[in-house]
Amino acid sequence: MAWTAPKGFRTCSVEKPARPGSVTAIALAAFLAAPMMSPAASQELSKKSLGGYPLCEASAALAADCPEAKGETCLLVADNEIRDKLFLFSVDGKDGRLSERREVPINTKKKDRVSDIEAMALLNSGEILVYGSHSRNRRCELKTKRQRILSGKLEPAGFDARRVSEARSRKMTCNRLFGVKRGKAAGNMKMLCDALHVAEQDADKAAKLGKEAAARACNEIDDFNLEGAVVLGGKSQDIWVGLRAPLANAEGDAFLMRQTSPNGFAFDAVVRLDLDKAGIREIAADKTHVWIISGPSNDGGEKHSLWRFPKKRLAAKSVSDGELRIRPKRLSVDLPTSAEGLVVTAGKAYVLMDGAEPKGSSSSCNRNSVYNVYSLKQF
């Protein structure tokens, strides 16, 4: 069947060559000389909305079974400004487009809610871990609600929280994370403990300043900030969390920490990632690789990047000596500074972009959260 151009759509014939020097020839030459747009760049033009208010600041996401239809995949999304609900999206099996957004109430006591949700992880049992950032606020003040992990299951009636893990002390120290004093830590663990010690001292000083001065000073401090979690399959069910900050003092490497149990905030191994002096903004995994979004450790304007490395690099034997440093492969896609969520499933990568919460009492986002879908084949 021959294609017919729509009314008003101009066509050109290629049967008769254009006269050299004519307007047509010049335009054609310019078109052919123009650089071809890469698949990643063309995909950048197709950002799709996550539905608008109240989901304005998408901060974490994962793929899970839809509660009403086991075996079908849904995407669960968190907003770091919302404590009492998550958001669930159906996934179109053809192009991966998200649809049918539903609000998922977090069924827990108000006093146990998690603030500043920045990571989620799914265990084989179907249990989901919801992490607060464990960071200080913008004025470097310590906030207990940020220092929690909520665990529960996704049910038709909502997210049923079954356990709340809260750290023993509010200060981030080597002893709190690893159960050892800073002077006795070694390898990557010592590098993280040393960086954390300096950052916590600086944050304490900043918190004592006036509000505006504290905010300015705090943005320059790499205090503890958790922004990614992933469960690697297999019997071990290793849980790895990624840090946006601090970075290693000398090399500027980012840190991954292995969580000892889903029942508490304790760790027993540290791996360094060379992400060109950027921190971890999100982690995901498929059957073969760990995927990472990186970005500046503070609120800078640098673009984010997408990386991956083989999952087998995090095998127990590889990390046992405490010295492992991995240089992931940087992938050929530029991400905006707002890229905060990452899900890799069914041959696709979903990248979620943070928006901006409403100003005042407005019931619309100041900027909507959006997402892109990439085929893994292009990487």
* pLDDT one-digit tens code per residue, 116-144: 999 999 999 999 999 999 999 999 999 99
- CATH code, domain carrying 320: 2.115.10
**Chain mean pLDDT for the chain:** 87
- Inform me whether the pLDDT recorded for 69 exceeds 60: yes
How far apart are the C-alpha atoms of 219 and 4, rounded to whole Å?
57
How far apart are the C-alpha atoms of 292 and 7, rounded to whole Å?
46
How far apart are the C-alpha atoms of 143 and 333, rounded to whole Å?
36
Question: pLDDT value at position 258?
Answer: 97
Q: Is 244 left (phi over 0), alpha (psi -120 to 50) or beta?
A: alpha
Is residue 113, in this structure, part of any structural domain at all? yes
DSSP state for residue 226 in the 8-state scheme: E
How far apart are the C-alpha atoms of 295 and 282, rounded to whole Å?
9
User: How many residues are given for the chain?
Assistant: 379
Question: pLDDT value at position 115?
Answer: 96
Please report the DSSP string for 307-373 in residue order: EEEEGGGGSHHHHTTS--EE-PEEEEEEE-TTEEEEEEETTEEEEEE--BPPSTT-SS-SB--EEEE
Question: pLDDT value at position 36?
Answer: 42
The pLDDT of 296-307, averaged and rounded, is 88
Is residue 34, in this structure, part of any structural domain at all? no
Stretch among 9-23, 73-87, 237-251, 325-339 having the lowest mean pLDDT: 9-23
Phi, psi of 180 (to 5 degrees): -135, 155
Question: pLDDT value at position 112?
Answer: 93
How far apart are the C-alpha atoms of 67 and 290, rounded to whole Å?
26
Residue 145 is encoded by which pair of tokens?
Answer: 């609600």
Edge-first strand listing for the sheet containing 254-259: 225-232, 238-245, 254-259, 267-273, 325-326
Phi, psi of 31 (to 5 degrees): -65, -45
Residue 289 is encoded by which pair of tokens?
Answer: 């690789």
Residue matched to tokens 């606020």: 137
Question: Which of the two residues, 51 and 44, has the higher pLDDT score?
Answer: 51
Which letter, b or e, does each residue of 147-175 get, where b requires 16 or more Cβ atoms within 10 Å of its Cβ?
bbbbbbbbeeebbebeebbbbeeeebebe
For residue 307, give every residue at least 6 positions away whose Cβ sits within 8 Å of its Cβ, in sequence order, or none: 273, 275, 291, 292, 293, 294, 328, 329, 330, 331
* pLDDT one-digit tens code per residue, 99-117: 999 999 999 999 999 999 9
Is residue 244, in this structure, part of any structural domain at all? yes
Q: Which amino acid is at 326?
A: I
- Domains contained in the chain, number: 1
What percent of the chain clears pLDDT 70, i.e. is strictly above it?
86
Interhelix angle for 187-207 vs 211-218, to 10°?
160
Give the rounded distance of the alpha carbon of 371 from its chain centre.
12
Is residue 306, in this structure, part of any structural domain at all? yes
242 bridge partner residues? 256
In angstroms, the Cα distances linking 365 to 93, 102, 375 are: 29, 17, 29
- Inform me whether the pLDDT recorded for 37 exceeds 70: no
- Inform me whether the pLDDT recorded for 41 exceeds 60: no
The pLDDT of 27-49, averaged and rounded, is 49
Residue 12 is encoded by which pair of tokens?
Answer: 């050109």
* pLDDT one-digit tens code per residue, 251-292: 999 999 999 999 889 999 999 999 999 999 999 999 999 999
User: Could you list the residue range(s) of the whole structural domain that residue 203 is in?
Assistant: 40-378
Is residue 35, in this structure, part of any structural domain at all? no
Residue matched to tokens 């401090």: 221
Answer positive or negative: Cα dihedral of 192, 80, 264, 142.
Answer: positive
How far apart are the C-alpha atoms of 344 and 55, rounded to whole Å?
21
Question: Which of the two residues, 308 and 250, has the higher pLDDT score?
Answer: 308
* pLDDT one-digit tens code per residue, 177-195: 999 999 999 999 999 999 9
pTM over 0.75: yes
- Inform me whether the pLDDT recorded for 45 exceeds 60: no
